[in-house]
Structure 1
Amino acid sequence: MKALTIRHADMDDLTACHTIEANCFPPAEAAWASSLRNRIEIYPEGFLVAEWEGKVVGQVNAGSTDKDDITDEEFKQLIGHDPDGRNIVIFSLSVLPAFRQRGIAGTLLTNFIGHARDMGKSAIKLLCKEPLTAFYARFGFTDDGPSRSTHGGAVWHAMTLVLTD
């Protein structure tokens, strides 16, 4: 594999991360630049980027909460975010289309899981579309079934990876 680096995002990555969002999600689902800015500013611990030969090509970003219900749309703006919450909630794991099928998403997720363990989180939670449930299952996530979320008018599955016994 060529030079892939996983690191925490900083404000210099905002434009690249917004470009990734815009290329990976329909407009009704993609995070706004202001949401990404908030995530970098407020919870940089939950925001990793993948650099391929110096270019940011992937990202994973999250918030933290003690809640188990992660369907609250305001939480994506980090309203109700608690950095000490037992659950870390992935908002987006995305890789530019031209850089897919290179193991970048898996490497980002593996790093994120290790980071969440190091932070002492109890679980990682996320919402994804049904075709992605098998991808997350390979990393130990269980499908909790359809979510009540109607974000972007899509049907979402809730998934959980328990990090502690």
Structure 2
Amino acid sequence: MTNLTIRTAELDDLTACHTIECNCFPAAEAALTSSLEQRIIEYPEGFFVAELDGRVVGQLNSGSTDKDDITDEEFKQLIGHDPEGKNIVIFSLAVLPEFQHRGIADQMMTAFIKQSRKLDKKNILLLCKDNLIPYYSRHGFTDSGISESNHGGATWHEMALAL
């Protein structure tokens, strides 16, 4: 994909990022516009978008903390966020359905891992559902088991990548 650009999100991307959330996650799991806006403003170095031919088609956003427990729902609103924290926590990696299976998420994840190392993070942490364990494993993440999180009423696995 020669016209794909992975870049830091800007406030102008907010509507597109919220559209991606709403198209990729059940309503109970999708981030609110206000949460996405806060993440862009407070931690732009941890918020990437994938832009294809001028259209934002994917996004990856995160927060940072020294905590190893990432089940706290308030953290998704960046309560307890510490830009200097040792762990960077992926909240969302999503690509619009009509653009999935083209390697866009892989390119965002590769850029994010590189950025995390540049920020001197020790670990990348995330929660995912059963069906995504193989995807994250391909990027070097290990499954730490079922999480205590019940976000959106779902069962989540804790995944970690030591950097």
**Residue 150 in 1 paired to residue 154 in 2?**
no
Q: What do you get for the CA RMSD once the two structures are aligned? A: 0.4
Please report the TM-score for the alignment, with normalisation by the length of structure 2: 0.99
Report 1:1-165 matches (<5 A).
1-163=1-163
Structure 2's unaligned 5+ residue stretches are none
Identity of aligned residues (%): 67
Shift of 1:2: 3.7
- Deviation string for 1:109-137 (max 9, x for gaps)? 00000000000000000000010000000
Distance across 2 between alignment mates of 1:146 and 1:86 = 22
Give yes or no for contact 1:4–1:53 (8 Å, CA) kept in 2. yes
Distance across 2 between alignment mates of 1:131 and 1:144 = 15
Please report the TM-score for the alignment, with normalisation by the length of structure 1: 0.98
Count of aligned pairs between the two proteins: 163
Letter in 2 for 1:113: I
Give yes or no for contact 1:57–1:99 (8 Å, CA) kept in 2. yes
Query: Structure 1 stretches (4+) deviating beyond 3 angstroms?
Result: none
Distance across 1 between alignment mates of 2:122 and 2:39 = 21
Distance across 1 between alignment mates of 2:116 and 2:53 = 26
Letter in 1 for 2:133: T
Give yes or no for contact 1:2–1:53 (8 Å, CA) kept in 2. no
